[in-house]
Structure 1
Amino acid sequence: MYDDFDRCYRAVQSKDARFDGWFVTAVLTTGIYCRPSCPVRPPLARNVRFHPTAAAAQRAGFRACKRCRPDASPGSPEWNVRGDVVARAMRLIADGTVDRDGVTGLAARLGYTTRQVERLMQAEVGAAPLALARAQRTQTARVLIETTDLPFGDVAFASGFSSIRQFNETVMSVTALTPTALRQRAQTTFGPGRPTGSGVVSLRLPVRTPFAYEGLFGHLAASGAHGVEEVRDGAYRRTLRLVAGNGVVSLTPHPDHVQCELALDDFRDLSTAIARCRRLLDLDADPEAVVDALSGDEQLTALIAKAPGQRIPRTVDESELALRVVIGQQISVKATRTHAGRVAQAYGTPIDDAKGGLTHVFPSVEQLASIDPTHLAFPKTRQRTFTTLVRALADGTVVLDPGCDWNRARQQLLALPGIGPWTAEVIAMRGLGDPDAFPVTDLGVLAAAKALGLPADPKVLSERSGRWRPWRAYATQHLWTALEHDVNYWPPKTTVKDK
């Protein structure tokens, strides 16, 4: 929307926080760029230029505002709604692909040449992949400088900078403050940073409001695999398999943010871990757009008004989610978590959890390549589906990652024996983040639809759902919240005991 000057300027005049992350405002007379919600007096229209990203504003020579800190705003919801190449690239950059594999690796994941990707990114978001990755490193560094007491050397290392000098120069050029001054300013404004132990960092994950976190956290808690996930002291906790090591994350919801504590084997994984936690909780969603669209259906109006701001319970690992969806075919949530926990304990990597009872990281497809069917205590047809999916993920027949093509992934999944539309749509919804995924044959969806006076026949309901597009995944989440089920309660009503 950054190229719609009038709309953007109206958002700036009203200081509308809903547009934070959609664009940034560059002021020609001061040389700084701001969030739309910046509290300072709006500049004159003739002195304003709008850019799609912080990286684009930085590339144009503007520095981040010291009051509204636009370089630390949440990501644009646009990249989660769209399935085109640029959106897929933005999701991969957020996951750290450029830092790990370079622009060449990013292009290979997308199926384009490096030159094509750079041209598309420049035209669409005003910055090349390297500039976007640099802006992300700076954002991570700023969060750590302002919210922790980590030494600056550790901050630079964790943010992905190759040297202290590069770290200092980049922070200074973007914020017009040295790292020391930035931390002192933050402590004056917000108080001292959270103490951190060895390999531990605590920070706030910002979220767009409204934020109806009960259904999100309730679902994650109710379906958590024993040893991999748990609820403890008001937080949802789980293990993470990352690039340079493993980790444990503790996530505690609040009305306007999520408190996140990460314990990592290697700080180089920090930026990726933060991105995956945001993805797990669907924090970059656009709740206002969802509410506006779905409230227009008179049979959903009351349900939406009851708990606006639903998020999709997603995943930190697309392959893990797909395998767990297969495990859960035609069985209860409780049985699924039991089976998933057994697989994790038999094949996952053991992990030390000083603050809780987590024991294993869910196994990778490589670790599951030689799985013994005796550890799959469910029907042989589902065993075959599970092992076939493992092989397909391992050899690239099925590609599931933040940058994959949603429709192509569906086609790849549906080509495997034992995977039907329900499985493919749940994977698209919770694993890949397609906002229009719709598991229309889901028993919970059909039960809720019937209770609300909507069609209970899958074919008719599918036709009826056309008016919910492109937000049918969020309509699904709202329908699930209409049920009397453990997934809708946070904190959990009862502690589920696994066998």
Structure 2
Amino acid sequence: MHTDFDRCVRAARSKDPRFDGWFFTAVLTTRIYCRPSCPAVLPKDRNMSFYPSAAAAQQAGFRACKRCRPDASPGSPRWNERADVVARAMRLIADGTVDREGVPGLAARLGYSARQIERQLLAELGAGPLALARAQRAQTARVLIETSELPMADVAFAAGFASVRAFNETVRAVFALTPTALRARAGRGRPAAAPGTLTLRLPFRAPFTPDNLFGHLAATAVPGVEEWRDGAYHRTLRLPYGHGTVSLRPLPDHIACRLALSDQRDLAGAISRCRRLLDLDADPEAVDALLGTDPHLAPLIDKAPGRRVPRTVDAEELALRAVLGQQVSTAAARTLAARLVTAHGTPVETSAPAGGRPPGGLTHLFPTTEALAALDPASLAMPAGRRAAFTRLVTALATGDLDLGVGSDWNRARARLAGIPGIGPWTADIIAMRGLGDPDAFLPTDLGVRRAAAGLGLPATPGALTRHAAAWRPWRAYAVQYLWSTDDHPAARMPGRPREGRV
């Protein structure tokens, strides 16, 4: 979009927040870049230029606006809508792959040379993988500076900088403030955070209806790993450098996020996983505009627009739980998963914040595929067919034969899933929808979908419904959320709220 100058000018002058993350406005006279919705007065058209990423604007010598904080805008929905190599690279960079493994590691995960990755990212985003990772490090540093009392040296290394000098130079270049000044500026009027926790805001594009999103997470929560408590979803996180716990609470204009991490270097990856879990980088206007052209779905969208797809923080965990839940109720699936967690999960210690209540029932990380691969299959208390499918899936994940990571090739992963005996179309589509993040994954055989379709006057047989749903592409995963919302199942509504509600 950034190449369409006139369209970008119109969007920037309208202050339309729907375009935040799609492009960035740079002011040539002040050398400052902003998000499209920035309330500041814009210069004449000839004094503006537009960039596809914050990294590209920073690389061109522009500083982030102190008023609209463009580096903290919602991420571009392009990276969650697409399955090409650039989108896969962006998902991996957001997960911290470049900081942990360098550009060669990123390229190896994608199956390309480092030079090819550099060329493709430069062509589309105006910045290479190192510049994109540097922009993310700057944003991570800003979060730590503003929300924690960590010494600046600890902030520098936790954010992924190789030296304190590089940290200081980057913060000054990007934000036009020293780290100390940035902390002092942010600290005015900010309540003190509990020791050991980070409190931050996760932005999203409006509209946002949280009912099915948090309802699904609460209804399927595995005891020990997840829980719904005090109006928020809580869970443990397995992260590259350690582990953590997170609390996510929906508020009118953002998600309130409280993180406790055993290693602060996991901050960027933890934030990325939480955003992916809640589908916060979706473009609800685009989704609802297309789905709303169907007269069967339009009333549902008008009533509660902006539904998101409940995704996951760990696709391997999601896949294993999907197989556990085959042909059983939600309650039975939770029980099976809880037994697995208690017997084979990794115990974690969580402590109460100073002056606060204990963190509830978060006791374990979900078992790793390596731990599950070492089990005697006969010890798994489930029917023989499902036990065999579960064991095959564990083996494929543990050996690397099946890749469900954020940078995985969706088509290859789905083909591999389809080749595992005992994993049928429904399970493969659930994994594609919630694990891989495919926005077009569809569940025509799902009982809830078929029941909703019949109630709305849509074709109820899988084949006929699939043909009708061709008009919903590429947003069929979102259509499923609207169909599920017609059900009385607890997953269709957030605990403690009316069945239909909107933030």
Q: State the AA in 2 paired with 1:45.
A: D
Corresponding position of 1:31: 31
Q: What is the rounded CA distance, in whole Å, between the counterparts of 1:29 and 1:360 in structure 2?
A: 53
State the Cα RMSD in Å: 1.4
Secondary structure in structure 2 of the residue aligned to 1:441: coil
- How far is 1:493 from its partner? 7.8
Return the match for 1:277 from 274, 291, 310: 274
Corresponding position of 1:451: 455
Q: Deviations over 1:157-209 (max 9, x none)?
A: 32111222211110000111111222222234xx22542313x2111111111
* Equivalent runs, 1:79-478 vs 2, <5 Å: 79-188=79-188, 191-192=189-190, 194-198=192-196, 200-354=197-351, 355-478=359-482
8 Å Cα contact 1:218/1:492 also seen in 2:
no
Q: Tell me whether 117-126 or 251-260 shows the greater mean CA deviation.
A: 251-260
Q: State the AA in 1 paired with 2:367.
A: P
Q: State the AA in 1 paired with 2:283.
A: D
Q: What is the rounded CA distance, in whole Å, between the counterparts of 2:321 and 2:192 in structure 1?
A: 35
8 Å Cα contact 1:27/1:43 also seen in 2:
yes
Q: Deviations over 1:334-393 (max 9, x none)?
A: 111111111111111001123211111001111111223355322100000000000001
Q: Deviations over 1:210-229 (max 9, x none)?
A: 11111101100100111111
- How far is 1:420 from its partner? 1.6
Q: What is the rounded CA distance, in whole Å, between the counterparts of 1:312 and 1:154 in structure 2?
A: 36
Q: What is the rounded CA distance, in whole Å, between the counterparts of 1:84 and 1:34 in structure 2?
A: 28
Q: What is the rounded CA distance, in whole Å, between the counterparts of 1:11 and 1:315 in structure 2?
A: 32
Q: State the AA in 2 paired with 1:197.
A: P
Secondary structure in structure 2 of the residue aligned to 1:149: coil
Secondary structure in structure 1 of the residue aligned to 2:198: strand
8 Å Cα contact 2:223/2:361 also seen in 1:
no
Identity over the aligned pairs, expressed in percent? 65
Q: What is the rounded CA distance, in whole Å, between the counterparts of 1:219 and 1:288 in structure 2?
A: 22
Secondary structure in structure 2 of the residue aligned to 1:482: coil
Secondary structure in structure 1 of the residue aligned to 2:258: strand
Q: What is the rounded CA distance, in whole Å, between the counterparts of 2:48 and 2:379 in structure 1?
A: 62
Q: What is the rounded CA distance, in whole Å, between the counterparts of 1:378 and 1:236 in structure 2?
A: 29
Q: State the AA in 1 paired with 2:193.
A: P
Corresponding position of 1:497: none
TM, length-normalised to structure 1:
0.96
Q: Deviations over 1:30-81 (max 9, x none)?
A: 1111110111112211111110000001111111111111112121011111
Q: What is the rounded CA distance, in whole Å, between the counterparts of 2:103 and 2:191 in structure 1?
A: 34
How many residue pairs align between the two structures? 491
- How far is 1:492 from its partner? 5.2
Q: What is the rounded CA distance, in whole Å, between the counterparts of 1:328 and 1:307 in structure 2?
A: 28
8 Å Cα contact 2:21/2:75 also seen in 1:
yes
Q: State the AA in 1 paired with 2:335.
A: T
Secondary structure in structure 2 of the residue aligned to 1:367: helix
Decide whether aligned partners of structure 1 residues 194 and 441 sit closer, same or farther in structure 2, where only a CA change above 3 A counts: farther
Q: What is the rounded CA distance, in whole Å, between the counterparts of 2:141 and 2:72 in structure 1?
A: 10
Q: State the AA in 2 paired with 1:66.
A: K
Q: Deviations over 1:93-118 (max 9, x none)?
A: 00011111111011011110111000
Which structure 1 residue ranges, 5 or more long, are not aligned? 495-499
Secondary structure in structure 1 of the residue aligned to 2:373: coil
- How far is 1:148 from its partner? 3.4
Secondary structure in structure 1 of the residue aligned to 2:201: strand
Secondary structure in structure 2 of the residue aligned to 1:368: helix
Q: State the AA in 2 paired with 1:373.
A: P
Q: What is the rounded CA distance, in whole Å, between the counterparts of 1:243 and 1:303 in structure 2?
A: 40
Secondary structure in structure 1 of the residue aligned to 2:268: helix
8 Å Cα contact 1:72/1:143 also seen in 2:
no
TM, length-normalised to structure 2:
0.95
8 Å Cα contact 2:23/2:36 also seen in 1:
yes
8 Å Cα contact 2:52/2:125 also seen in 1:
yes
Q: What is the rounded CA distance, in whole Å, between the counterparts of 2:460 and 2:348 in structure 1?
A: 45
8 Å Cα contact 1:213/1:311 also seen in 2:
yes
Q: Are residue 70 (structure 1) and residue 70 (structure 2) matched?
A: yes
Q: What is the rounded CA distance, in whole Å, between the counterparts of 2:40 and 2:350 in structure 1?
A: 45
8 Å Cα contact 1:11/1:36 also seen in 2:
yes
Q: What is the rounded CA distance, in whole Å, between the counterparts of 2:310 and 2:496 in structure 1?
A: 15
- How far is 1:234 from its partner? 1.4
Q: Tell me whether 439-448 or 144-153 shows the greater mean CA deviation.
A: 144-153
Q: Are residue 51 (structure 1) and residue 57 (structure 2) matched?
A: no
Q: Are residue 486 (structure 1) and residue 484 (structure 2) matched?
A: no
Q: Deviations over 1:93-149 (max 9, x none)?
A: 000111111110110111101110000001010100010000001011112223333
Decide whether aligned partners of structure 1 residues 173 and 340 sit closer, same or farther in structure 2, where only a CA change above 3 A counts: same
Q: What is the rounded CA distance, in whole Å, between the counterparts of 1:44 and 1:371 in structure 2?
A: 67
Q: Deviations over 1:8-36 (max 9, x none)?
A: 11110101111111110111111111110
8 Å Cα contact 2:410/2:438 also seen in 1:
yes
- How far is 1:289 from its partner? 0.8
Which structure 2 residue ranges, 5 or more long, are not aligned? 352-358, 499-503
Secondary structure in structure 2 of the residue aligned to 1:144: helix
Q: Deviations over 1:244-300 (max 9, x none)?
A: 111111111112111111111111111111111111111111111111111111110
